[in-house]
Amino acid sequence: MMPVELLIESSIRGLICLAGIMGNSWLALRSLACQKSGIRTNEVLFINLAVSNLISGYLVDLPDTMADFAGRWFLGKIYCSIFSFCANFSETSSIYTTFFICVFWHQKLVGSLKRGGASVQLDSLRLVSCLLAGSWMLALVFSIPCFFFVTVVGTNESQENCEVVFPTTFDRHTYEIFYLTLANALPVAGIVFASVQIVITLLQNQRRIRAHTTTKETGKDENNSSENRNNKTTSGPGTMKDLQDSASVTHIYTGVPASSCPNRQDPSGHSSLSTPMKRATKTESGAGGPTNLPRLGQTPARASPGSSNQVRAAKSVVAVASVFLVCWLTHLLLRITSNIHISSVMVEVASYIAASYICIIPYIFLHGVKKLSCSCKG
């Protein structure tokens, strides 16, 4: 019977694998569904990320989970080659796709908040397709050695494991140096740089919003004070009384009530009804009223309608980048350490960390682009 510790460990690994497959499948379906205006760059990137993770989910994590429950590698040497190839291929493709997503959303955030929603370089589907094709070619190059240099290691049937074994130590170290540099260190550095730029842009935008709100409130207070002074001058309690007195004076000197001479003109040709009340009314109607006058502190520049969505998506990218750095930096350190001192425990821990990353990130992206629900909005 299987020990309780191994049963719990295998069950946790199985749940992680199931959650990763479900999340990435949902990410791919929601990126494909209901695109009435055609597929866009972010959907292409999400689909590529989901496909890369599903390769790992179905062809790497699921067989590995089955081997954990079985207590040994029972799928043979042929599938061991496929297993090792898919593990490196999906890992490299997923890392580079995450890097492209971070760069894309940094460009979109800057374009939305600083340039009024202007288009960016990665809005081009042709450019993104070329970048993804290049990342797949690089992943293929680094995965080919893992297909040929594999073996099922074990002293007996109860301790068999699928491992990559290079002909010499020099070959292994050379491969690991190039792989860790080009397929891990460089994209990780790019993700860190893009994430830092996103955070800086978000903080600058938040600072501008606070400054604008403060200026607007100050201008509103000043404008309200000015309106109150104008109301006291033109609309005070004595205004109507002064107008009635003026009408009475007109009646005394002309012998005609002011109300009975609507078309009477003065020698200059202007209507005699150009009283203070009428002048005030004409001034307000011609200027659109005091409520339509520009207020102090108002700025004509306004953020694009989709800027809030861009900010939400950018925040999700920062969250993904944070999870990515925690998982893959640990994964990278474990791989470097395992090259110095080979340990099956470190390899197993690195495998768990990679699986947990694949499990978490699709849900963060789905939340960031508001696609967790089943509603379809093209």
- The region that residue 266 occupies, defined by phi over 0 for left and psi between -120 and 50 for alpha, beta otherwise, is beta
Q: How many domains does the chain have?
A: 1
Separation of alpha carbons 312 and 108, rounded Å? 12
Q: Which two tokens stand for residue 149?
A: 């240099």
Residue 161 forms part of a structural domain: yes
3-state secondary structure of 253: helix
Residue 294 forms part of a structural domain: no
Q: Is 17 exposed, middle or buried (0-12, 13-18, 19+ CB in 10 A)?
A: buried
The CA-CA-CA angle for residues 48, 52, 57, to 5°, reads 140
Residue 135 forms part of a structural domain: yes
Q: DSSP letter at 265?
A: B
Q: Which two tokens stand for residue 116?
A: 């009024």
Phi/psi of residue 262, nearest 5 degrees: -70, -25
Residue 288 forms part of a structural domain: no
Q: Within 13 Å, how many C-alpha atoms sit on residue 109's CB side?
A: 27
Q: Which of 92, 181, 75, 184 is nearest to 144 (CA)?
A: 92
Are 361 and 320 in contact, with CB atoms under 8 Å apart?
yes
Residue 320 forms part of a structural domain: yes
3-state secondary structure of 372: coil
- The region that residue 375 occupies, defined by phi over 0 for left and psi between -120 and 50 for alpha, beta otherwise, is beta
pLDDT given for residue 115 in this prediction: 64
3-state secondary structure of 376: coil
Are 165 and 154 in contact, with CB atoms under 8 Å apart?
no
Which H or E element spans position 270?
Answer: none
Beta-strand pair 161-164/150-153:
antiparallel
Q: DSSP letter at 38?
A: -
CATH of the domain at 339: 1.20.1070.10
- The region that residue 3 occupies, defined by phi over 0 for left and psi between -120 and 50 for alpha, beta otherwise, is beta
Separation of alpha carbons 172 and 13, rounded Å? 28
Phi/psi of residue 214, nearest 5 degrees: -65, -45
Q: Which two tokens stand for residue 117?
A: 């929603």
The domain containing residue 313 runs over which residues?
4-212+303-368
pLDDT given for residue 12 in this prediction: 86
3-state secondary structure of 150: strand
Are 135 and 97 in contact, with CB atoms under 8 Å apart?
yes
Does the model's pTM come out above 0.75? no
Separation of alpha carbons 138 and 147, rounded Å? 15
Handedness of CA 7, 9, 10, 16 (dihedral sign): positive
Residue 156 forms part of a structural domain: yes
Q: How many CB atoms lie within 10 A of CB 354?
A: 22
Separation of alpha carbons 88 and 147, rounded Å? 10
3-state secondary structure of 149: coil
Separation of alpha carbons 155 and 283, rounded Å? 99
Return per-residue pLDDT of the chain as tens, 378 residues.
Answer: 667 877 888 888 889 999 999 999 999 998 886 556 678 888 899 999 999 999 999 999 899 888 888 878 888 889 999 999 999 999 899 999 999 998 988 888 776 666 666 677 888 889 999 999 999 999 999 999 999 998 887 755 566 788 888 899 899 889 988 998 898 889 989 988 888 888 888 888 778 878 878 887 777 666 666 666 655 555 445 444 444 444 443 343 334 444 444 444 444 444 444 444 444 444 444 444 444 444 444 444 444 445 566 677 777 778 877 887 777 777 777 767 766 665 666 667 777 777 788 888 888 888 877 776 665 554
Residue 238 forms part of a structural domain: no
- The region that residue 335 occupies, defined by phi over 0 for left and psi between -120 and 50 for alpha, beta otherwise, is alpha
Residue 229 forms part of a structural domain: no
Separation of alpha carbons 109 and 176, rounded Å? 36
Q: Which two tokens stand for residue 29?
A: 């379906």
